[in-house]
Amino acid sequence: MIGSNFLDISIEGSRPLFHFSGGNLYIATDWVLKSKNQSLSPKTSIDNVLEMEIRNLLEGKNIIDMSVKGKYYDLRITFSENSILQTNLNLLEYNPALPYDQWIFSRAPNDMIVAGPGNSWSLWIPEGENIQHK
């Protein structure tokens, strides 16, 4: 995923589906996208305006770093020119049994990582493919 270019986004019900050259990312929890001059989240705009603002902010940018931290797998993606996409799972501190996935990264139907529900996670990879760690 590192090095992947932003391609497009669609948002439905405040839940974004990001399309990158290396795969797709669906976020089903609170999130924020920050740049030096701007902070975007479902709280800042309605879905169609938010899509346009995110396209403008991420156009031509690529992923330079990704990390997953905390007991609820907070996702942080850093883009070129220092834009940062981050899931905010503080709400899980109050209700760790929320019955949905926080985020899903997929490259193909049989190749995905799912964070959630709660502090559980799942990994699917095609048979015979190895997981590489850095």
> Is the distance from CB of 58 to CB of 8 less than 8 angstroms?
no
Task: Evaluate whether residue 49 is within a structural domain.
Answer: yes
Task: Evaluate whether residue 1 is within a structural domain.
Answer: no
Q: What is the pTM of this model?
A: 0.79
Domain count, the chain: 1
Task: Evaluate whether residue 134 is within a structural domain.
Answer: no
DSSP character at residue 36 = S
End-to-end CA distance of the chain: 13
> Which residues, including other chains, have CB under 8 Å from residue 75's CB and lie 6 or more apart?
27, 66, 67, 68, 85, 86, 87, 102, 103, 115
pLDDT reported for residue 74: 83
Task: Evaluate whether residue 115 is within a structural domain.
Answer: yes
Task: Evaluate whether residue 130 is within a structural domain.
Answer: no
Q: How confident is the model at residue 128 (pLDDT cuts 50, 70, 90)?
A: low
- How do residues 80-119 score in pLDDT, each as one tens digit? 999 999 987 555 454 555 555 677 778 866 777 777 766 6
Where do the DSSP E strands lie in 28-83?
A: 31-34, 39-40, 63-69, 74-79
Query: Phi, psi (5° rounding) for residue 61?
Result: -100, 155
Domain extent, residue 76, equals 6-124
- How do residues 5-22 score in pLDDT, each as one tens digit? 999 999 887 789 999 998
Match 């883009």 to its residue by tokens. Answer: 79
